[in-house]
């Protein structure tokens, strides 16, 4: 019988691996990866788990259990354990939340790259982000599930996922080169860069979404949706810029109340969806 959401959220995944910060974890981070050419015997579901983790850079084991394994915690733990033992995945638990996070190793990313479908432009990432960013970045996977479900209900099909890191890597070096240009030319080229990436200039800057989902509609048209995950430490001006850029804005339930009180703008905060 399926457990309800509250029961699932109270239980911690039974992953028998060390949890940073610790000296042992620090040593593990510095150890060399296994040879990328080493062959691995994996199920299709394990490859898909690697793809989920690599696409979003990091996610929680609880979310992996819910969305990838349909609530089957035992199967999820068994497959995650196997992926860790084969050097393809790392897990770590942070305090005080005790949430367990997963990220690819360099070898795990190399394995996905070698198994990439011809013509695929989907990027994958390895290694953990900064500890203070883990909660926000891992929630992007949950945000994707919410938006992708809506797309599917409308007859669409997701073709590619883009996280902000990919956009930053493409856009920021080009923006840096504009600093030496006259203001008028700088503005013209900034607008061109934004348009090339399907973005908008707001107050002289190009706001970037946390998540972009490219998909095919039921009418076979290619389109996208840009999504932002707002947290309780967002400032009003920052959130307003994201809204003016046309992003769909979500917030986790525990952040929604503090965020609305901090922004104190009913016109702006009523555009925020609860995740």
Q: What is the pLDDT of residues 130-170, one digit of tens each?
A: 888 999 999 999 999 999 999 999 999 999 999 999 999 99
The predicted structure's pLDDT at residue 50: 97
Judged against a pLDDT cut of 60, whether residue 11 lies above it is answered with no
Instruction: Say which residues have a Cβ less than 8 Å from residue 13's Cβ, sequence separation at least 6.
Output: 61, 62, 65, 73, 76, 77, 80, 100
**Do residue 101 and residue 190 come from a single domain?**
no
Rounded distance between C-alpha atoms, residue 57 and residue 33, angstroms = 18
Q: What is the pTM of this model?
A: 0.82
Instruction: Say which residues have a Cβ less than 8 Å from residue 112's Cβ, sequence separation at least 6.
Output: 47, 50, 51, 54, 104, 124
Higher pLDDT, 179 or 35: 179
**Do residue 61 and residue 151 come from a single domain?**
no
DSSP 223: E
DSSP 138: H
Rounded distance between C-alpha atoms, residue 200 and residue 236, angstroms = 19
**Do residue 255 and residue 229 come from a single domain?**
yes
Band of the pLDDT at 235, cuts 50, 70, 90?
confident
DSSP 22: S
- Structural domain includes residue 229: yes
**Do residue 57 and residue 23 come from a single domain?**
yes
**Do residue 118 and residue 185 come from a single domain?**
no
Domain that holds residue 233: 143-274
Range name among 106-120, 151-165, 195-209 with the lowest pLDDT average = 106-120
**Do residue 123 and residue 169 come from a single domain?**
no
Q: What is the mean pLDDT of the chain?
A: 86
- Structural domain includes residue 137: no
Domain end point (choices 70, 105, 128) = 128
Average pLDDT over residues 170-195: 96
The enclosing domain of 100 has a CATH number of 1.10.10.10
Domain end point (choices 61, 96, 128) = 128
The structural domain count of the chain equals: 2
Average pLDDT over residues 247-259: 90
Model confidence pLDDT, tens digit, residues 27-78: 444 444 444 445 788 999 999 999 999 999 999 999 999 999 999 999 999 9
**Do residue 93 and residue 182 come from a single domain?**
no
**Do residue 154 and residue 121 come from a single domain?**
no
**Cα 43 to Cα 49, 50, 263, distances in angstroms:** 10, 11, 47
Q: Count of CB atoms within 10 A of residue 224's CB?
A: 14
**Do residue 164 and residue 116 come from a single domain?**
no
């Amino acid at each position: 019988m399926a457990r309800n959401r509250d029961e699932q959220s109270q239980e911690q995944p039974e992953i028998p691996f060390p949890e940073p910060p610790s000296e042992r974890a620090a040593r593990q981070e510095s150890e060399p990866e296994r040879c990328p050419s080493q062959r691995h015997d994996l199920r299709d579901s394990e490859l898909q788990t690697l793809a989920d983790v690599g696409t979003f850079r990091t996610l929680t084991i609880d979310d992996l259990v819910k969305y990838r394994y349909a609530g089957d915690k035992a199967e999820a733990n068994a497959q995650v354990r196997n992926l860790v033992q084969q050097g393809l995945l790392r897990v770590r638990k942070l305090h005080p939340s005790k949430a367990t996070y997963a990220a690819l190793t360099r070898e795990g990313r190399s394995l996905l790259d070698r198994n990439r479908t011809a013509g695929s432009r989907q990027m994958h990432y390895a290694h953990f982000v900064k500890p203070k960013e883990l909660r926000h970045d891992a929630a992007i996977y949950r945000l994707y599930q919410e938006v992708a479900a809506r797309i599917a209900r409308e007859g669409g099909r997701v073709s590619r996922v883009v996280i902000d890191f990919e956009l930053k890597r493409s856009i920021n070096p080009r923006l840096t080169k504009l600093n030496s240009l006259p203001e008028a030319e700088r503005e013209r080229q900034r607008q061109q860069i934004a348009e090339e990436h399907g973005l908008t200039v707001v107050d002289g800057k190009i706001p970037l979404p946390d998540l972009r989902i490219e998909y095919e509609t039921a009418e076979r048209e290619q389109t996208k949706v840009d999504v932002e995950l707002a947290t309780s430490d967002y400032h009003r001006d920052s959130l307003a810029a994201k809204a003016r850029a046309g992003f769909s804005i979500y917030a986790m339930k525990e952040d929604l109340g503090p965020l609305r009180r901090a922004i104190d703008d009913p016109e702006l905060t009523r555009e925020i969806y609860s995740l």
